[in-house]
Every structure is written in C-alpha cells, then in structure tokens.
Amino acid sequence: MTTPTTPTTSTTALTSPTRARLARAAGGTRTRALLRDRLALTGGVIAALFVLAALLAPLISPYDPAQADFENALAQPSWSHWLGTDDLGRDQLSRVFHGLRASLQVGLLAVVLAFVVGVPLGLLAGYYGRFADSTVSRITETMLAFPFLVLAVGLAAILGPSLLNATIAIGISQVPAVIRITRAETLRLKNVDFVAAAVANGGGDGTVLFRHILPNAASALTVQATVGIPAAIIGEALLSFLGLGVQPPEPSLGVMLSSAQSFLAAAPWMAVFPGLAIVAATLAFNLLGDGLRDVLDPRGATR
C-alpha cells in the first residue's frame, strides 16, 4: 500500500523513487492520498460505465425508447421494466440509456467549443498584454454579465430551441473560465526561462505560443475540462427540462424529468431515476476531476 494507485503519464517517465517522493510531497499524509485516489478511481469507473452505456445504448436497451405501450403506462418498476414506464408506457431504463447519449454528447461538444474559442483569446490576452488584454477582458466581462440561462434563453429565441443551440449556449457560458485559465497560464509561462530561450533563438510568436506555451498549459486546461464536462451535463438536463434543449419525443434526462412533473404523485419513479442518473454521472466526473486536479495541478490541490 505504499505506491500511489493512479500513476499518471506525467510521472511515468520518472524513476520510481522520484515518483514516490513526488507522491508523498503532493499527497499530504498517505492515507489521505490513498482515499482521494480511491474516490477518483471510483469516479473514473462509474464515469466509464456511463460512457459505455451511452455508446452501447441501442445494444443494451431492453426496449425501443420511443415505443409507446399504453397498456403498461405508468407501470411501477418491475422485472420487465426495471425503472418502470412513463405516461406513454415507454421503458424508462431504455430512455435513460439513450438520454445519456445526449448528456455526454453535449458534455464533450460544449467543452470543445469553449476551448476552441477560449484558448486563442486567452493566449492573445496573456501573451500580448496591454490593448489585447484589456479588449479580451471587456469581452470576458460582457459574457459574464449574461447569466448562463439568460444566454441560453436568448440563443434559443434567436436560433430556435434545439440540442445544437443548447450546446452552443453551454459552450459559450464556459468560454470565460477557459480564457481566464489560459491567460493566467500564459502570463506565468511567458516569463519562464525556456520560453525566453525560445524567443532568443528567434522563434516567432506562433512558434512560442503553440510549441512552448500551450503544451505547458495543458494540465491546467485538462483540469478545466474535467470541471466543464459535468457542468455541461447538468446544463443539458436543465435546458432540456425547460424545453430549450432536446425536443420530445427524443429522450433526454432533462426531458424525462420535465414530463415526470405532471405525474409526481402517481408515478414518482419517473422523476427519481433520471435524476439519480444525472447526479451519479455528475458526481463521477467531479470525483475523477478532483483526482486529476490533485495529480496534474499540485497548486490547486490545497483543499
């Protein structure tokens, strides 16, 4: 029980004594490091299961998620319908599996979008400073002045409610955080010796930014991504719940919760299981993210 349970790519190249020392230095007491790793591991396993369930949804679903069966409407959980059925008699388990597809799709795409927009702006602001920095700061503040939901609502009004537009809204809402982190990392790295050396060697701005600064900002950005994915999963459920995301009859955890609201007294399982799925998925990604943060970004691991 003396070695850390989650070796990482960043430390595998080191000799094992160094690794052990690093682990000791980073983890505080060993029991706490171990506990944290276990939590991260559990989170990782559950997250992987959710990803698998989403990928294999058509194969593992016992029923067609869109197939109505009025004879069995609002059926309690049973052996034939593990999570019960909804008001149209559709199998809840199959709908949860398919709903996870929407959740993870939005989770990934929104984070990618936030990075595609936020990273270049953050590099620009951090590297060139002055005018570029204050311009990007104003852009960030303007974006922050629109609370996430107001932004999503505005976009839905302009472009129409759909899963794609919900993804765009969620992605945009995460841009300011990505800008801030990239900017802070760029500011820090700009003054580090190896970057100065690259500049002295005649490296152009592009080379310095993308060959030297960006790869070294990768771990901070990875941590941000692990925070962004669960946030986007909740965002999707929220927007679909309000009718601004996935449109019925397409399955989504948020849509399921929304239709459950009319049958709270008659069929509480309609509300309980999709919600549990969201909580479990979010919790799993958050635990995984916490573990990754401890490993990748020791400066953030003070909690």
Partner 1 sequence: MNHYLLKRLRQSLITLFLVSVVVFAGVRAIPGDPALALAGEERSPEALAAIREQYGLNDSIFEQYWRFVSHAVTGDLGVSARTGLPVDDAIVGALPVTVELALLSLLFAVVVGIGAGVIAAVRRGRPSEWLANGLALLGLSVPNFWLGIVLVLSLAIAVPVFAASGYVPFGVDPVDNLRRMVLPAIVLGSGLAAVVMRQTRAAMLDSLSADYVRTARAKGLSRRQVIGSHALRNSLVTVVTILGLQLGQLISGAVVTEQIFVLPGFGKLTIDAVFTRDYAMLQGVVLCTSAAYILINLLVDVAYSVIDPRIRLGGAPR
Enumerate binding residues for partner 1 (CB under 8 A): 138, 141-142, 144-150, 153-154, 156-158, 161, 230, 234, 237-238, 241-244, 257, 260-261, 264-265, 268, 271-272, 275, 278-279, 282-283, 286, 302-303
Comparison of 52 and 264: residue with beta carbon closer to partner 1: 264
Q: Tell the burial category of 271 from Cβ atoms under 10 Å away from its Cβ (0-12, 13-18, 19+).
A: middle
* Residue 151 CB, nearest approach to partner 1 (Å): 9
User: What are phi and psi for residue 244, nearest 5 degrees?
Assistant: -100, 0
* Residue 242 CB, nearest approach to partner 1 (Å): 6
Give the chain's length.
303
Taking alpha carbons only, the member of 125, 232, 234 closest to residue 187 is 125
Q: Tell the burial category of 86 from Cβ atoms under 10 Å away from its Cβ (0-12, 13-18, 19+).
A: buried
Comparison of 51 and 144: residue with beta carbon closer to partner 1: 144
Structure tokens at 154: 């505005």
285: region left, alpha or beta (phi > 0 left; psi from -120 to 50 alpha):
alpha
Comparison of 125 and 238: residue with beta carbon closer to partner 1: 238
Taking alpha carbons only, the member of 190, 184, 179 closest to residue 137 is 179
Comparison of 102 and 257: residue with beta carbon closer to partner 1: 257
* Residue 61 CB, nearest approach to partner 1 (Å): 22
* Residue 275 CB, nearest approach to partner 1 (Å): 4
Structure tokens at 63: 């029923």
* Residue 228 CB, nearest approach to partner 1 (Å): 15
Cα 134 off chain centre by: 29
Comparison of 229 and 238: residue with beta carbon closer to partner 1: 238
* Residue 36 CB, nearest approach to partner 1 (Å): 13
Comparison of 84 and 213: residue with beta carbon closer to partner 1: 84
